[in-house]
Amino acid sequence: MPALFRRILVPYDFSKSAAKALGVGADLAARHDGSLLVVHAIPPVYPTHGRPIPPSAGEVAMVEARLVEDVARIVRGRRVGRVRSRVMIGPPAGCILEAARRADAIVMGTLGRSGLPHLLLGSVAERVIRHAEVPVLTVRAGARSRRRADADGA
């Protein structure tokens, strides 16, 4: 029987929750002798009139360099077979769902907003969960692991 989680996609937005999700995704990929694809989406600027303006080549290059650096730092020491990073241009949820076509699972950070901030800002994670055709594991930076919480309470 083939491993279920060999191709792990991790959306990465440079937040603490994304960094934690990247660590979890790397551990999952290592455990299943799998690969890791880390994507960062840069949305175009939408002026009030006219067409969307894509980011400049310089901006994309700067984001790519930072992405490669962060991925290398976080994944270092974990035994992940293949690690790739990619910068995509477009709405984050759409870019993630497009990249997920070649993934077995998505591991992504979430801010855990609720109430008015969630209503006003929406949630990329929520859109991905609703439309993804593969399992989605969400990770919050501030959340303690259950094992650690149980050990602290014992």
Q: Where residue 22 sits, what CATH number does that domain have?
A: 3.40.50.620
Indicate whether 3 pLDDT > 80: no
- The 3-state DSSP class for residue 112 equals coil
Question: What is the pLDDT at residue 100?
Answer: 97
Kindly report the CA angle at 140 between 135 and 142, in degrees rounded to 5? 160
Domain of residue 132: give its range: 7-153
Q: Predicted confidence band at 2 (pLDDT cuts at 50, 70, 90)?
A: low
Question: What is the pLDDT at residue 154?
Answer: 46
Q: Predicted confidence band at 120 (pLDDT cuts at 50, 70, 90)?
A: very low
Residue 141 resides in a domain = yes
- Number of separate domains in the chain: 1
Indicate whether 130 pLDDT > 60: yes
Residue 2 resides in a domain = no
Query: How far is Cα 29 from Cα 16, in angstroms, rounded to an integer?
Result: 20
Spacing of C-alpha 1 from chain mean position: 27
Residue 119 resides in a domain = yes
Residue 94 resides in a domain = yes
Residue 55 resides in a domain = yes
Residue 1 resides in a domain = no
The reported pTM is 0.84
Question: What is the pLDDT at residue 113?
Answer: 58
Residue 58 resides in a domain = yes
Residue 33 resides in a domain = yes
Q: Where are the beta strands (DSSP E) in 47-147?
A: 82-89, 105-109, 136-139
